[in-house]
Amino acid sequence: MMADSADVTMVGTIPVPADDTIDAGAVAAWMKGHMPAIDGPVTLSKFKGGQSNPTYRVDVSGKSYVLRRQRSASCCPLRMPWTVNIG
């Protein structure tokens, strides 16, 4: 059975594209400062799909987290904070 085209384009993660890069060191520093159990390197990938805000998978210390980022001001006048979803 062939995968539905939406499964190919909307499901899973991809390497972070150059135009959506974020500072993995800054993410790691924030997480370590707010979540003491975090230890080790942070690996980032980007969720596929048409989300209005770039959404990343953050893998660290054997766990995975979701990080949503606001779009650049040139793209969207709506300003939203970063959020890390745990659970």
Q: How far from 18 is each of 1, 8, 14, 37, CA to CA, in Å?
A: 34, 21, 12, 30
For 17-66, the pLDDT digits (tens) are 888 888 889 999 999 899 888 888 999 999 987 667 888 999 998 999 99
The per-residue pLDDT for 20 is 81
Average pLDDT over residues 63-75: 77
pTM, entire model: 0.70
How far apart CA 32 and CA 76 sit, in angstroms, is 30
Residue positions counted in the chain: 87
Q: State the CB neighbour count (10 A cutoff) for residue 35.
A: 15
Write 67-76 long-range contacts (CB < 8 A, 24+).
Answer: 67/22, 67/27, 69/20, 69/22, 76/52
